[in-house]
Amino acid sequence: MEESARESRVLQAIDKLHGLIIPKCKIKGCENGFIRDAAKVNLDGLLHPTSHKCECFQTYERYKSYLISNIPREFWKVKDEQITTDPDSDRRISIYLEKLTQAFENGIGLLFLGSDEGMLHPNNGVGKTLLGTKILEHAIASDYSAHYITMHSYFNLVYRSKDDADTYLPVIDEIEGVDFLCIDEVGKINDTDYVKNKFEDMIRYRSQQMLTNIIITNMNTKELTDMFGYSIMDIIMNSSVAIKLRGNSHRQQKFVDIRKRLNWGL
């Protein structure tokens, strides 16, 4: 029942998205997301009207794919050129995006790490989640399947599947089987043996299938190894490019920019 309700909410969100974009299009000639072209004569000798997708419909399709892939809406309109990182991280991420097809074919993902001090002094808000979702957006644009999920949300599904396998196991299987999976907030969960074993099963399965993981954490490699063990970290480190982001809080700056734009005097 709950999964049906979730699907219903997604469908409602898609309908709402269509209503927010398509009817408001101001491009000349746009009719419900399509623009008519000059009629063409087919082999039957008759004129057949043709059309192409308007920019508004292309935007709708792109945002719809983000919605289905669970990419947070706050990142949808952020352009690549608006993202700033330290020079070394920017160079490595740019190379990864250029080699995205090769990365997928070889099951090579990314591991966005916390500071050397780890959870004692985490580098929150520096853009790890934003960059992870941008990787997913590029993957979607290249016709790969993708999904974003926090570790807490993933295990929420896992625990629910114990009582309702018919509802939740297909959802978990679909998430675990996508081409590019972004797992955020890794480590922000009670580290029971069950969590460790299930997380290792998922990572090991995706590694064996050569599927690509984008792992985001505020922990450093030592903390991750202490929590999950050497075996799983060996898999992660040998199938990922590790990146430590440095810099100021993007989250804090975003809200500063919003307050300035709205001019509320706050």
Q: Which residue, among 201, 198, 203, 231, has the nearest Cα to 215 in the 3D structure?
A: 203
**Number of domains comprising the chain:** 2
Same domain, 55 and 101: no
Identify whether 261 is part of a domain: no
Question: Which range marks the domain in which residue 159 is found?
Answer: 72-254
For position 234, what pLDDT does the model report?
94
Residues 81, 36, single domain; the answer is no
Instruction: Report how far Cα 144 is from the mean position of its chain's Cα atoms.
Output: 12
Tokens encoding 103: 């990365």
Indicate if 47 and 87 belong to the same structural domain: no
- Answer yes or no: is pLDDT of 195 > 80: yes
- pLDDT (0 to 100) of residue 45: 61
Is 184 part of any domain?
Answer: yes
Classify residue 64: in a domain, yes or no.
no
The percentage of the chain sitting over the pLDDT mark of 70, rounded to a whole number, equals 81
**193, burial (CB in 10 Å: exposed 0-12, middle 13-18, buried 19+):** exposed
Within this chain, do residues 44 and 108 fall inside the same structural domain, yes or no?
no
pLDDT band at 263 (very low <50, low <70, confident <90, very high): low
Tell me the per-residue pLDDT of 32-44, one tens digit each, with 9 for 90 and over: 899 988 666 566 6
Cα 208–chain centre separation: 21
Q: Are residue 95 and residue 171 in the same domain, yes or no?
A: yes
The yes-or-no verdict on residue 242 having pLDDT over 70 is: yes
Report which of residues 3 and 66 the model is more confident about: 66
What does pTM read for this prediction? 0.83
For residues 7 and 130, the model is more confident at 130
Q: What is the pLDDT of residue 48?
A: 63
Residues 131 and 235 in one domain: yes
C-alpha span between 226 and 131 (Å, rounded): 26
246: which residues sit within 8 A by CB, 6+ positions away?
85, 86, 89, 123, 126
Question: In what order do the strands lie in the sheet containing 47-53?
Answer: 30-31, 34-41, 47-53
Q: What does the mean pLDDT of the chain come to?
A: 84
Tokens of 132: 């992870």
- pLDDT in the model for residue 173: 94
Domain edge (last residue) among 16, 35, 59: 59
Q: Is 198 helix (H, G, I), strand (E, B) or coil?
A: helix
Q: pLDDT (tens digit, 9 = 90+) per residue, 107-133?
A: 999 999 976 654 454 555 558 999 999
Residues 32, 154 within the same domain: no
Q: Specify the CATH number for the domain of residue 96.
A: 3.40.50.300
**pLDDT at residue 259 in the model:** 46
Q: Is residue 202 part of a domain?
A: yes
- What is residue 7's predicted lDDT score, i.e. its pLDDT? 73
Statement to judge: residues 97 and 225 lie in one domain: yes
Q: How confident is the model at residue 266 (pLDDT cuts 50, 70, 90)?
A: very low
Of 160, 219, 157, 161, nearest to 191 by C-alpha is: 219
> 16 pLDDT exceeds 70?
yes
